[in-house]
């Protein structure tokens, strides 16, 4: 530093400061009247000696050009963000979170009652896991991208493929049958309607390793058990039941190749969403004759299992499976909940047998849940096929139904105790009381500031506290606290070691 003239250093430094200040002050001098002296804030960085040296050095190294100095990010204008979540997604503030927890707890409790174990999978999966058949809506609804390792990945749109992957991974290390359930977040970029969002949570129950229809009957029973728990009856909702084998038998009669089966199912699944002429043209485009199309549409209009048997005969697997399911429904006690509807095929290509959808009887909402048998899914991922069936139940539609029926529960915040120090010096003592109660498993809202009792009582009412624990000087000196039962107004003092 001794070889560098102090006057030159000072001159360069001041020139750098002047240049930087000009940048910040220019917007203030928009008119002649603004040339009068003003108070302004000098950036703190410029007051730091180390930054003065840096500015001087930057100025001298750039020929004294002020343009070489970057404005401090501290003074950049803050951009206001959109406070709404991305379209199709949701925030869960406390009141919404209480409802979600209530719903999920019912999902989990029903799963426990039926002897299922909980599993979960990554929200981010390989894109290939979900790209099975061209024409599936789900293929075009993926949130997918290439990660930094050049891998194609996707946010899971459903849980069943992840389940299949895990079953293949476990191989023979697990004993069949598997009865697994999951409650997970799913993502689909789709058109939003009432009860349909781009992210939702889904309750899945799956039975792996049971080929008999008893498995489907058990799954439907679990859903009905859930409905009963939350106040939904058979007059509110019903189940449409059919079998993919119905389609197979019709297509076989007209020598339609097996490889067209999945494509036909995907088209038929849209029968209530698209005009009939569009459905006919789509079936023709995949190779179905006009005669076969008319016969298929006639069969799909059948709403009676007896009529189906008259057309297909009683010897086929489709009719036999369905008759057994309806017989089991009587034994389970839910015959009034289910009905046959040949048009139900489900839009995912992997279903192979019985399929079902739950609908609201007023017809105001989309399908509440749906599922069926998927005996050949594992082989599409390179595994050995194992008999399997399951269902997916979204969280959004059921909440809409509960609103419609006036069945949303009142879920207010509830805290067992509110603890308050009556003197600033007793805050530590109040903390001791709160710690003791929490150690005994009780919830405690500790008043963290020195607040008047009027405020404390309002707070207690808002959080629905059961007891108010007051820590006062006189009581604390005797090793006691004051207790007020807020529902009855009863008051008493109690020794700290006797507080339960």
Return the percentage of the chain with pLDDT > 70, whole number.
Answer: 83
Residue with the two structure tokens 């389609």 = 247
pLDDT on residue 51:
45
For 173, the token pair is 């290390």
For 131, the token pair is 């790209």
Q: 10 Å Cβ neighbour count for 95?
A: 10
What would the DSSP string read from start to end of 314-328? SSSHHHHHHHHHHHH
For residues 340-359, average pLDDT = 89
pLDDT band at 162 (very low <50, low <70, confident <90, very high): very high
Counting every residue written for the chain, the total comes to 500
pLDDT band at 319 (very low <50, low <70, confident <90, very high): very high
Q: What is the tens place of the pLDDT at every residue in 445-483?
A: 999 999 999 999 999 999 999 999 999 999 999 999 999
Of the ranges 26-35, 95-104, 119-128, 380-389, which one carries the lowest mean pLDDT score? Answer: 26-35
pLDDT band at 74 (very low <50, low <70, confident <90, very high): low
Q: What is the tens place of the pLDDT at every residue in 129-142?
A: 998 654 567 778 89
For residues 381-386, average pLDDT = 92
What would the DSSP string read from start to end of 440-492? TT--EEE--S---HHHHHHHHHHTT-SEEEEE-HHHHHTTEEEEEETTT--EE
What is the residue-averaged pLDDT of the chain?
85
Of the ranges 278-287, 320-329, 464-473, 488-497, which one carries the lowest mean pLDDT score? Answer: 278-287
pLDDT on residue 499:
94
pLDDT on residue 470:
97
Which residues are CB-neighbours of 422 under 8 A, at least 6 positions away?
453, 470, 471, 472, 473
Which residues are CB-neighbours of 284 under 8 A, at least 6 positions away?
290, 293
Of the ranges 89-103, 253-267, 404-418, which one carries the lowest mean pLDDT score? Answer: 253-267
Q: What is the tens place of the pLDDT at every residue in 31-43?
A: 333 333 334 344 4
For 480, the token pair is 């006691």
For 61, the token pair is 């190294």
pTM for this predicted structure: 0.79
Q: Could you tell me the CA-to-CA distances from 405 to 10, 94, 199 in Å, in that order?
A: 79, 23, 24
pLDDT on residue 271:
82
HEC profile for 402-430? HHHCCCCCCCCCCCCEEEEECCHHHHHHH
For 263, the token pair is 């494509």
Which residue did the predictor score with more confidence, 314 or 230? 230
pLDDT on residue 118:
98
The residue among 337, 335, 331 whose CA lies nearest residue 233 is 337
| pLDDT value at 359 more than 90 | yes
- Which segments of 208-335 does DSSP mark as H helices, in order? 214-230, 244-253, 261-268, 276-285, 290-300, 305-312, 317-332
pLDDT on residue 138:
75
pLDDT on residue 311:
83
Q: What is the tens place of the pLDDT at every residue in 163-176?
A: 999 999 999 999 99
For 165, the token pair is 């992957």
pLDDT band at 408 (very low <50, low <70, confident <90, very high): very high
pLDDT on residue 346:
84
Sheet with 369-373, edge to edge strand ranges: 117-118, 178-187, 199-208, 388-394, 369-373, 354-360, 237-243, 338-340
pLDDT band at 230 (very low <50, low <70, confident <90, very high): very high
Contact 213, 328 (CB under 8 A): yes
Please tell me whether residue 5 adopts helix, strand or coil conformation.
coil
The residue among 195, 208, 135 whose CA lies nearest residue 166 is 208
For residues 383-410, average pLDDT = 95
User: Which of 31-40, 294-303, 375-384, 424-433 is most confident?
Assistant: 424-433
């Amino acid at each position: 530093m001794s070889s560098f003239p102090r006057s030159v250093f000072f001159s360069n430094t001041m020139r750098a400061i002047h240049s930087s200040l000009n940048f910040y002050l220019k917007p203030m001098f928009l008119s002649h009247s603004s040339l009068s002296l003003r108070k302004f804030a000098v950036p703190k960085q410029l007051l730091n000696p180390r930054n003065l040296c840096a500015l001087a050095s930057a100025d001298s190294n750039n020929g004294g050009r002020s343009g070489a100095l970057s404005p401090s990010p501290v003074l950049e204008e803050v951009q206001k963000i959109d406070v709404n979540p991305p379209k199709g997604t949701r925030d869960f503030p406390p009141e919404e979170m209480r409802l979600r927890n209530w719903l999920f707890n019912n999902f989990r409790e029903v799963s426990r009652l039926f002897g299922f174990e909980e599993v979960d999978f990554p929200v981010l999966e390989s894109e290939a896991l979900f790209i099975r058949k061209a024409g599936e809506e789900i293929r075009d609804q993926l949130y997918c991208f290439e990660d930094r390792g050049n891998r194609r990945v996707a946010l899971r749109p459903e849980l069943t493929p992840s389940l299949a992957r895990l079953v293949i991974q476990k191989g023979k290390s697990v004993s069949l049958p598997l009865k697994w359930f999951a409650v997970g977040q799913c993502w689909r970029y789709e058109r939003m309607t009432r009860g349909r969002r781009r992210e939702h949570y889904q309750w899945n129950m799956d039975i792996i390793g049971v080929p008999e229809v008893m498995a489907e009957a058990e799954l439907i029973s679990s859903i009905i058990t859930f409905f009963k728990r939350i106040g939904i009856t058979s007059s509110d909702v019903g189940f449409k039941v059919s079998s993919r084998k119905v389609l197979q038998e019709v297509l076989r009669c007209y020598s339609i190749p097996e490889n067209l089966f999945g494509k036909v199912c995907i088209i038929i699944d849209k029968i209530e969403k698209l005009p009939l002429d569009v459905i006919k043209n789509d079936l023709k485009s995949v190779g179905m004759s006009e005669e076969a199309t008319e016969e298929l549409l006639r069969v799909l209009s059948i709403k009676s299992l007896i009529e189906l048997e008259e057309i297909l005969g009683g010897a086929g697997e489709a009719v036999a499976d369905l008759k057994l399911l309806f017989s089991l429904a009587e034994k389970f006690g839910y015959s009034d909940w289910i009905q046959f509807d040949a048009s139900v095929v489900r839009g995912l290509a992997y279903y192979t047998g019985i399929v079902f959808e739950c609908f609201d009887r007023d017809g105001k909402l989309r399908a509440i849940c749906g599922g069926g048998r998927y005996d050949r899914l594992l082989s599409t991922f390179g595994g050995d096929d194992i008999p399997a069936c399951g269902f997916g139940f979204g969280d959004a539609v059921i909440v809409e139904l509960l609103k419609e029926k006036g069945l949303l529960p009142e879920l207010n915040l509830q805290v067992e105790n509110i603890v308050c120090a009556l003197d600033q010096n007793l805050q530590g003592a109040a903390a001791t009381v709160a710690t003791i109660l929490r150690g005994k498993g009780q919830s405690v809202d500790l008043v963290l500031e020195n607040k008047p009792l009027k405020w404390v009582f309002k707070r207690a009412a808002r959080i629905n506290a059961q007891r108010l624990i007051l820590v006062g000087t006189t009581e604390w000196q005797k090793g006691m606290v004051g207790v007020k039962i807020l529902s009855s107004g009863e008051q008493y003092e109690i020794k700290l070691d006797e507080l339960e």
